A = this chain, B = another copy of it.
Amino acid sequence: MPDPRFYHRAGPFELGAVAKVAHAELQGDFDPRAPLADVASLRSAGAGDVVFLSTEKHAAELVSGACGACLVSAPLAAKVPKSAAVLVTKDPRAAFADVAAMFYPPALQTLPASEHISADAQIAPDAALAPGVVVGQGAEIGARTRIGANTVIGRGVKIGADCEIGANVTLQYCIVGDRVLIHPGVRIGSDGFGFVTTAVGLRKIPQLGRVSIGNDVELGANCTIDRGMLDDTIIGDGCKFDNLVQIGHNVVMGRNCIVVAQAGIAGSCTIGDGVVFGGQVGIADHVTIGDGAQIASQSGVSRDIPAGAIVMGYPAKPIRQFWREVAAIAKLTRKP
């Protein structure tokens, strides 16, 4: 469930009210007065939660007792276990956007102008805050951690011990480990880029997850890491990012990865340990990359990459094949 440090939940709401907001049809023999507690991802849902199922691929995650109600299209309705209420709708993702906004109405993130450091923030006595730092309500800053000038730490953010956070940084909706080095201008925890197309334009899907940064991570200047939609965006221990790197929502990255400058990893990618991303690499969404794979600079990856593979190109392919093709193309223009 969305972390109460960051999100204030409304509700519970009755099943009938949820169906109405979702413009969905309640099927079967469920009491429309049954209470629903929260929204959740398929992976993390509990018995009273509302989830959505948009593709058959994820149906296996729906087991008995896994949720209270499921927004689903008619063709997939039979995939929902008997224990859950079936809410049939044409576009389950769009309907979920409405239900998520019902449980989590937009909350003020800005602070009252009167205080730079919130009185109820927990700041270690030997932490050091430079001038102009702003710390939101309930934020925690660990021992010996230093925060650079004019950096903004949002409400509920937790930073571990022995971190160095640079100047002009913005941290929101995130949990940061120990010994993390964050360079100036980094933005962690902004909204993920999720929209549904409606008749009146693009409708935002509420982003209710967090960013979790492991220990011993380094993030270069002006990097951006979006928070997850429901689950977390996760950067594993020991990862090192160069400058201007972009990480989309719900990316799960293993340990000790290297990401060179201006690379971008789109939403919901799953990255193993020790993966190396060259400069300006682009990874499409929902791609899985195995341990120790290496992606050469400027490559464009839209399919899964197995562990240990070394790929290059646009589209990316095994690096030897890339260079063979470069030679073959050059040969095409050679005069006989």
Contact = CB atoms under 8 A, between A and B. Distances in A.
B132 A108 contact: no
A29 interface: no
Interface in A127-167: 128-134, 146-150, 152, 154, 164, 166-167
A89 interface: no
B201 A220 contact: no
Interface string A169-210: 110100000000101110100110101000001101000000
If over half of A's interface residues share one DSSP class (helix, strand or loop), that class is named, otherwise mixed; here it is loop
A233 interface: no
Interface in A112-135: 112-116, 128-134
Interface string A235-258: 001101011101010000001101
A324 to B, nearest CB: 5
Contacts of A146: 108-110
Interface residues of A, number: 85
A87 to B, nearest CB: 27
Contact of A282 (B152, B169, B193, B280): B280
A321 B333 CA distance: 8
Contact of A116 (B131, B201, B240): B131
Contacts of A204: 181, 218
Interface of A: 108-116, 128-134, 146-150, 152, 154, 164, 166-170, 172, 181, 183-185, 187, 190-191, 193, 195, 201-202, 204, 216, 218, 220-222, 224, 226, 237-238, 240, 242-244, 246, 248, 255-256, 258, 260-262, 264, 266, 279-280, 282, 284, 297-298, 300, 302, 314-315, 317, 321, 324-326, 328-330, 332-333
